[in-house]
Every structure is written in C-alpha cells, then in structure tokens.
Amino acid sequence: MPKSASDSPSRPPLSTQKARPPTHIDGEAAQPLRRLTRQHFALYRGYLDGVADAQLHATYGDGSTDVRATRRLIATLRDTLSVLARRARDVEAAHLLRLRPGSIPLAELHGAPDLPTLEDFRDRVDPDGVFGESELLDLYRAEYPPDASPRVDRRIARNARLRRRQADALARMEASLAQEPRPDHPLDGWFEPAVAGRLASAGLVTLADLLELIEARRHRWYTAVPRLGPRGAQRITDWLSLHAQALQHALSPLALVPRRQLPAGHPALTRARPAVSDGHARIVPLEAFRPPATLDGEHGANRASGPNRIGAKTDLQAVEAWLSRPSNSVHTARAYRREAERLLLWSVVAKGKPISSLTKTDCAEYVESFLKDPQPAGMWVGRARAERFQREWRPFLGALSDRSRETARTILNALGAWLVDVAYLASNPFDEIRRIAKPAALDASGRTLGHAQWRFVLSATPCADSTAAGHRDHVALLFAYATGLRRTELASATTGDLVCAPDAEHAADAWELIVPGRREAKRSVPIPRALMDAFRENLRLRGMPEPRACPAGTPLLAHARTGETLSADGLGKIYKGIFARAAARLESQSPAASRDLMRATTHWLRHTHSNHALDRGAELRDVRENLGHASLSTTALYVSNAARRRRAIDALLPSTGVESTD
C-alpha cells in the first residue's frame, strides 16, 4: 500500500525545489520544474492515495502561500510525469498517473443510496487526514459492510489492482527520474529563479557556496544576500537540512538558531580535544589543547623537586589550577586565561618546550619580540569575529602595543610567582624581565561632565518616556551618576545586593548597595532615595515586586524586552546611546559641546560622580570608598584642576537654557 503524505514528517515546501520539464505540455503552458526530487514524488503519491489537498499543502506546501499553490504544483507534476512517461515509451504509466484519485462507488456496492459518502465518513472519523484512501476504505467497510455479491467482489479486486499498478508506475518513474542534490550543483537548478538570482547577486554559484556562507555567517547569514529575509532564509535552510545526507553536510546548530538560545556546554559551543598528529600540537584554545607527552612538562627542567601543593603533573594542569582560583571579575579571569593560553601555545608550538622548561632568555624573547609581532601571522593572528569553537580562531588579532605587552608581562610574572609558591616551579623565569611601559596614571581631564552638561544629559533622557527601554535608560543614568560604579559593577548589580542601612534613623528609606571588590572584599555604596524610587518604578514596569520580594538574581538594570541581565558591553552601548541622543539635541545650540558629548563613555559618569561629590563638600575618603580605589592618592587625582575643567565645559553651553552652578 502506498504511504500517504500524512504518514510523513513535516517537510520544507517544495516550491523551493525545481526539475527540468518541457515548457509546453499537451498544448498548455506548464509551471516550470527544473528538477524532480523524491519529495515531489511523495507529494504526488499522497495525491494518488486520496489525501485531501489541504493536508498535502500542510505537509509539503509553502507556509507563505495557500492551498492553491500546492494544487497548481500537483497539476504540473501530473502533466510532467505523463509527458516524461510517454517519452520513455511507458504508455501504461502515462495513462495511470493521469487518473484522478477516487474511491469505489459506495452506494452502488451496498445497494443503499442513503449511506454516508466517503467524504462525510472522512470528516467524522478522520478530520486530521491521518489515514490514506485505502485505509479509510477498510474502516468504512468495517462499519458499513457491503452486500456480498460476485459483482461487488470483482469491482473491489479491479480497484485494488488499479491502485497497485498506479503505485508501481509511480515507483518506476521515481527510480529513473528522481535526483538528489550535490554540493557542486548550480543553485538555479534547485531554487526558484527569483531566489536563485538573489543568491547569485551575493556571489553564490553552487550549493557548496551557499553552505559555506551559512556556516560562516551563522543564523543571520541572509543579511549578506540582497532582498532575502528571515522567512525566505528559513525555507532555504529547511530544504538544506532535508537534503543533508545527499549533500553530505548537516548544518551546524549555530546556523539554525541564535547562539544565545543554546545552553551552556552545548557541543556546538565547544571544540573536542584534537588528537596530536605527527607529534605536533595544534593552535587551538586552551580547553581543547593537548600537548604531546614529550612537551607536557612532567619532566620540565625548571620543575621543583618533590610534590607540589596543587597535585599537578603537567604544565596544563598547573595552568588550569591557577585559572580556577576565584577572580574578582569576569574581565580579570578572561585576561588571565588569554595570557596563559598564549604563553602555553607559544612555548609548545613555537619553541618546542614545556612552560616548565622556559628560561629567562625565552621569556624575554616572548615579551619583547614575539608579542610585538606574532609570526607567522597565518598561524597566530585571526579575525575578530572568529569564536573559540571555530577552526578560524587564533590567539592574536594582531601585534600588541607596549601597554598590552606590559599587561601580559605583569600577568605572566604573577603566574610564575604563584607556580613557585605552590612548589610547582623551582624559579620564576619572568621575575627579572624589564618593564615594557610605565603604568598610565589616572587622567580624568577632558573625560567628565560639568554640572550644566550633566543636567542637559539628564533632561534628554526623561523618566516619563513611554517605552520600557527609555525608562531603563533613565534609571541607568541615575544609577551610574549617583554611585560612581564601574560598568561591570553596574551590570552585575541585583536586587539581592540592596540592603537597608543598619545605622540609619529611618531604615525604610535608607538603602545601600553591597558591591564585591578585589580579593573578596566588599564595600557598601549609599543609594539615594530618588534612585531607590526609580528602581521600584522600573521593577513595577517589568512586572516585578518590591526589591526585597524579587527572586534571587533579579538584575537592577535589565534587558527591556526579555528582562535578562545585561552584559557590561551591552550596558556600555546603552550609555553611548544616551550620550549620542543628548549630543544630537545639542548640535544646533552648541556644536562644540555636542562633539564633547559624542566622546563620552560610561567611565565619564564615574569621573563626574567623584568630581560633583567633591564639589558639594564630600570627604575625599568617602569618595574613595564609593569608587573602590585601593589608594587615597588615586582618588586625589580627581581633585587636580577639577574646578577649572568643569568651568571650561560648562562654558560650552551658553544657549541650552541650563544655568551652571559653578
């Protein structure tokens, strides 16, 4: 019995698949079909089996069209198959495949004109079109047994033979005509001319070109194709997924869904540790790195005698132990991993030594020469968009500046000192490497807002904005200005970090924010009443309760649409947008002040907080505690010439209507 379309899984629309036909069939213009695929035959098999047009369209049709498009495709298939059968001198197939599907005249079989028709019976017992025509007939006969007679038996047998011959004819045509796509096939053989033209305008010629673009650009690949939107792209990727076996290429999950929708640890986001070939390690991220046994450091020349306190046998285990220590910020942990990873790869791949065998001369070469110009560039330098799980990933994006090399030297010196401290290394090979550059002193000049400038930015971000994003931006601006927190501290703050001040006279109105600091230290930052009210209003707009009743981990600054935590980079873009909108409003009144605002970043609000607090008489030590500076001398740098700079900035706003308080 032929398999009905309803037995098949949901498939991409056949409107993207084409086959090569005659342009005119029996005197009538035919819809062009460039290639016949097995999905075309499955559609026509379901049609011959009596499946309703609506069900065929739901299974095989294009979601952007209605059932009429599937009916036209069936008519085209009927004409095309008939002509091709005649050309193959298969007269029987040419005749059988043009017969419309039908059923045995039920009333005639039963001799009773008042029995329900097959369509009425289908609507009652099979409204979803699950059964094929022959299966439905069996159910009908079971409920309404026909009168036994030789004539009825002959009609049933003749009908069954006709169906078998029809199915055999279609199977013969499928065996000789159905084609499978191959990577080297031109695109115009498989897609509609309009779609193929758009793909060609993006420089795509074959199916292999299309697959390469999708894997490189991932789920938003269609942005590289003119006039191709997400719905059209979805139909194309559905078709490619359907033919993955024939194309010998299964699309990566990253090509089908956004990365953020994949759970942490998904195989698509990790790279398996490669086998070491020919005794040589490859340039891969730290989590996938596996050096040869001769270079793993177990017998390194600089290994300390006796057991070490971290139980590490190899350099990789020792480095992973160092990186696994608690870090005060995500950015610090990322920087430590980056520098340790680069050194480990260079030591094993370029020098052919484990880290535990590096000498002071080797380390000086690494910091003073290699980091200045990683060569060969093809091996070490990659593109910015390549992620760690991609083969295109490289540990460098280019040569490092003097400050970046000094940062690397400082981090690696700390790594060496720690490995000596835990008795893994006998000596620290980085401890005598000279400084590359002096650390930059804090310079707030030209990177702070005057009082009038601050009030203008605040007025350009009104709290009464009708959008959730607008209200969030207003709260974010107040939050940064009132507390002076760093960008990462602002992004990571949650309702659970808010506590009532223990020594306040009216504890219900006095709040503090507990901010994690360096080396597991914490500091308390006062939250003004106006900012606390703004937090409550924003939580209410997000459908959240009072801060104390919020679920654990509820961010104070959240994504306006999803309510999820913002990344530090995402929050930085929000502040840049705030400054850009304020600068646009100021452009016609004061172009110089507008240009100044266009340069502003999140850190400007940190400088502005400290300068304005000192202007209002705050003690330097209190400002230092708010900012989280380790040294009072660092905070004191904010005071130098602060008044002169702010007066100069406020002087840029003569026509804003906002008076300066300086």
Q: What is the pLDDT of residue 174?
A: 81
Write out the H or E segment, with its range, that includes residue 516. strand 511-516
Per-residue CA distances from 513 to 82, 146, 551, 626 (Å): 78, 83, 17, 10
Q: What is the pLDDT of residue 428?
A: 95
| pLDDT (tens digit per residue) in 398-453 | 999 998 999 999 999 999 999 999 999 999 999 988 888 654 444 445 577 878 88
Nearest to 165 by CA among 95, 109, 78: 95
Q: What is the pLDDT of residue 586?
A: 83
DSSP secondary structure letter of residue 189: G
Q: What is the pLDDT of residue 373?
A: 93
| pLDDT (tens digit per residue) in 371-385 | 999 999 989 998 776
Question: What is the residue extent of each domain of the chain?
Answer: 1-179, 187-260, 282-421, 451-650
Q: What is the pLDDT of residue 308?
A: 94
Q: What is the pLDDT of residue 351?
A: 93
Nearest to 627 by CA among 642, 641, 646, 607: 607
**CATH class given for the domain over 451-650:** mainly alpha
Q: What is the pLDDT of residue 320?
A: 94
Q: What is the pLDDT of residue 637?
A: 60
Residue 82: CB atoms within 10 A of its CB come to 19
Q: What is the pLDDT of residue 28?
A: 36
Q: What is the pLDDT of residue 238?
A: 80
Low pLDDT (below 50) residues in the chain: 1-10, 15-32, 103-109, 111, 275-279, 439-444, 505, 641-662
Nearest to 627 by CA among 495, 456, 442, 458: 442
Q: What is the pLDDT of residue 151?
A: 62
Global pTM value: 0.50
